[in-house]
């Protein structure tokens, strides 16, 4: 759905009013959730003899399509959180001690002990695995970033949510990810399919809090979704998130001359020039660092 393809489900905002006396006050309605559905409105014919409602042909065809395209599946979810980008600082030193909390279907993963101290550009390189998840079902994948505090409550930096059903049942996802390997497996069930060539996209997802619509930073991450039989018959190792070893590099900047410089001394119409070189980078904690020469 990130590429603009139509979402497989429709959504309706649910509103609730406040009951006051004999009438509901429409001006004071509030949102109480979202109804996610797929379907159509169809008229049913009532049979007086059987006292049953007979569905129309359109309803029967809709049921067939639902069973075909929204078939229940056991899905293996792999979540890779690589790094945080420009996280909102929460501490007095204008930094944070971020750690991750990943939730799906009532299962929570992530540890406070995995925090990155004093950083707003943390390199998390964390992997989370959710097996035997049933779709349709609990499908909201929520990734939250918290700021660790030793003596008081941890603060929410921000969170992002992904509806996995929208991806799993989208036509684009089926074409790009599922149908190729599944077709090969159907032709030869004993064939070991190499799934390493399938590339799930690297996503940059912005973080928000319930109190603001302003981005509180972002996460670079990858979400893999596999049907269980794909991993049984295929080969798909977990991505290696180990940070590569640093390589010592010497940077040399040679400035030969300067031409057509504007005179800044209005009296003598000359300049007393010197050169300053600023190298912007990231230190070991992932925070911006400048070196001036």
Total domains in the chain come to 2
Cβ–Cβ < 8 Å for 239, 127:
yes
Do 170 and 210 share a domain, yes or no?
yes
Do 45 and 102 share a domain, yes or no?
no
Report in angstroms the alpha-carbon separations of 186 from 86, 101, 227, 233, 237.
Answer: 46, 38, 14, 11, 22
pLDDT in tens, the chain (293 residues): 344 446 777 788 888 876 655 555 555 777 788 887 776 656 667 777 777 666 655 555 555 556 655 778 888 899 999 999 999 999 989 999 999 999 999 999 999 999 999 999 999 999 999 988 998 888 999 999 999 998 899 999 999 999 998 888 887 776 666 555 555 555 555 555 556 666 788 899 999 999 989 999 999 999 998 877 666 555 678 888 887 787 888 888 898 988 888 888 888 888 888 888 888 777 666 666 667 77
Residue 223 forms part of a structural domain: yes
Do 142 and 40 share a domain, yes or no?
no
**β-strand partners of 12:** 35
Per-residue confidence (pLDDT) for residue 249, from 0 to 100? 86
Which residue matches tokens 């501490």? 91
Domain that holds residue 51: 10-19+29-70
Do 83 and 222 share a domain, yes or no?
yes
CATH of the domain at 77: 2.60.40.150
Do 64 and 202 share a domain, yes or no?
no
Report in angstroms the alpha-carbon separations of 25 from 29, 30, 32, 81.
Answer: 7, 11, 16, 45
pTM of the full structure? 0.71
Do 151 and 60 share a domain, yes or no?
no
Residue 64 forms part of a structural domain: yes
Calculate the CA 221 to chain-centre distance: 7
Residue 240 forms part of a structural domain: no
Do 64 and 155 share a domain, yes or no?
no
Per-residue confidence (pLDDT) for residue 4, from 0 to 100? 40
Cβ–Cβ < 8 Å for 156, 172:
no
């Amino acid at each position: 759905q990130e590429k603009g393809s139509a979402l497989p489900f429709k959504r309706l905002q649910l509103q609730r009013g406040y009951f006051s006396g004999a009438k509901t006050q429409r001006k004071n309605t509030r949102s109480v959730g979202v109804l996610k559905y797929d379907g159509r409105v169809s008229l049913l014919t009532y049979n007086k003899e059987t006292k049953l409602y007979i569905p129309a042909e359109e309803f029967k065809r809709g049921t067939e399509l639902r069973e075909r395209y929204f078939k229940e599946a056991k899905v293996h979810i792999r979540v890779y959180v690589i790094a945080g980008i420009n996280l909102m600082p929460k501490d007095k030193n204008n930094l944070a001690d971020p750690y991750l909390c990943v939730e799906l279907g009532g299962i929570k993963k992530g540890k406070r002990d995995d925090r990155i101290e004093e950083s707003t550009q943390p390199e998390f390189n964390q992997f989370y695995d959710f097996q035997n998840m049933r779709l349709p079902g609990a499908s909201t994948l929520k990734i939250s970033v918290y700021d660790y505090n030793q003596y008081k409550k941890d603060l929410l930096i921000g969170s992002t949510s992904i509806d996995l059903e929208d991806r799993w049942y989208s036509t684009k996802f089926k074409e790009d990810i599922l149908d190729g390997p599944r077709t090969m497996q159907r032709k030869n069930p004993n064939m070991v399919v190499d799934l390493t060539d399938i590339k799930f996209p690297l996503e940059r997802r912005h973080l928000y809090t319930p109190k603001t619509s302003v981005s509180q930073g972002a996460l670079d991450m990858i979400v893999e979704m596999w049907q269980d039989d794909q991993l049984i018959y295929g080969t798909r190792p977990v991505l290696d998130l180990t940070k590569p070893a640093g390589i010592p590099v010497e940077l040399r900047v040679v400035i030969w001359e300067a031409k057509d410089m504007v005179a800044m001394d209005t009296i003598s119409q000359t300049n007393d020039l010197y050169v300053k070189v600023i190298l912007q980078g990231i230190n070991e904690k992932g925070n911006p660092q400048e070196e001036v020469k």
